Amino acid sequence: MYTPIMAAVLEDPGEPLLFRELLLDAPAGDEVLVRTEHVGLCHSDLHYLKGSLQITTPAVLGHEVVGIVQRVGPAVTRIKPGDRVVATVTPSCGGCRCCLRGRPTQCERVDAMRTRHRPKLLTPEGETVEALGGIGAFAEAFLVKEASVAAVGSSIPPHAACLLGCCVSTGVGAAIHGANIGPDDTVAVIGCGGVGISAIQGAKLAGARRVVAIDSAPAKLDLARIFGATDTVLAEPDAATTAMALEALIPGGVDHSIEAVGRSSTAELAFAILRPTGTATILGLMPAGEKLQIPADALVYGDRRIQGAYMGANRFLSDVDMFTDHYVTGRLLLEEMVTKRLPFDSINEGFQAMSEPSTIRVVLELSQSQS
């Protein structure tokens, strides 16, 4: 049975989201229905909003979310109504080859897991509505598989807990799982938005000896120090100048670079600043067809590596517990990452605020706009 909910709907990329009523199905099987509390605005949402990444419309974006479970399907075992949960765009089966090798973000059964026998979201006219990442959190409620959520408890304020679902999983995950940083490593993080700041925090948690923040906005570099950057480099339009500034700080280059921007130029910079045996870990999403140019001699002669780490190669279900412990003991800063809190109906204003140089994360509050 479908119930009406209010959602911010993407109809035409490049245009503002439109508030309209949609119909959300009831949970079946291993699904859970979650009432949205807080949702962060992520750059991948912005990419779909602008049209630089494609999604079938109409669509409900939003994936960095925390909420309260309202109802569960009969096959749900781990989650119960009343639980506060954070969601992930990478549910995992736990049994495929990637899951068994500790890479659940590459779960081979993710498409099968998302399949259901009828659309979860409809317009009142009966048109199917796409939900980004199988979530669709720019709405009063959303319906996901149990495997897409982790219980988060009450020790983290919900306006900050939502960050665990995307930028923290991705950034901290990249440092700890994707790049496997250790105490003898020097690290450079390119881009100091929500993901980059999280990567800086992850590198600090992993014990890195130096953590260099690189961004084109001076305000971001000041903020980066609060989260654990030991050094900063102002990114110049010319990548060679940026690389030279890093070379002055850490001669020979870094052991690890983490790219959190999503441009070919910054991914190439991430490779260019590696010392021999160094690894560049690319997190930023780029448009389909984008290509990177990597100098082959530096790759082979220097035993350098470049790798992707989609969503930071996080291990969501256990990482949420790890993040919670590090938050409780003061080693992971979360509220400090929330630059602006806005009511749900200010979502389009929130996307505008994302481009301000001092913005790390904008979080929408849905509790205010609900009865």
Residues at the contact surface with Zn ion, assessed by CB under 5 A: 42, 44, 92-93, 96, 99, 107, 109, 166
Cβ proximity to Zn ion, 165 vs 228, nearer residue: 165
d(CA 73, CA 236) in angstroms, rounded, equals 52
CB of 75 to Zn ion, least distance (A): 17
CB of 216 to Zn ion, least distance (A): 21
Distance CA 37, CA 258 (A): 31
- Backbone angles phi and psi of 364, in degrees to 5: -95, 145
Q: Which is nearer to Zn ion, 93 or 342 (CB)?
A: 93
Residue placing its CB nearer to Zn ion in the complex, 9 or 167: 167
Residue with the shortest CB distance to Zn ion: 42
Closest CA to 190 of 269, 259, 263, 278: 259
Is the Cβ–Cβ distance between 308 and 275 less than 8 Å? Answer: no
Rank residues 39 and 69 by Cβ distance to Zn ion and give the closer one. 39
Q: Smallest distance, Å, CB 207 to Zn ion? A: 26
Quote the CA–CA distance of 216 and 242 in Å, as a whole number: 10
Instruction: Extract the runs of DSSP E, i.e. beta strands, from the chain.
Output: 3-9, 18-24, 31-41, 59-60, 64-72, 84-87, 121-122, 130-131, 141-145, 149-151, 186-190, 210-215, 231-234, 254-259, 274-282, 305-308, 338-343, 361-365
Nearer to Zn ion by Cβ, of 96 and 333: the residue is: 96
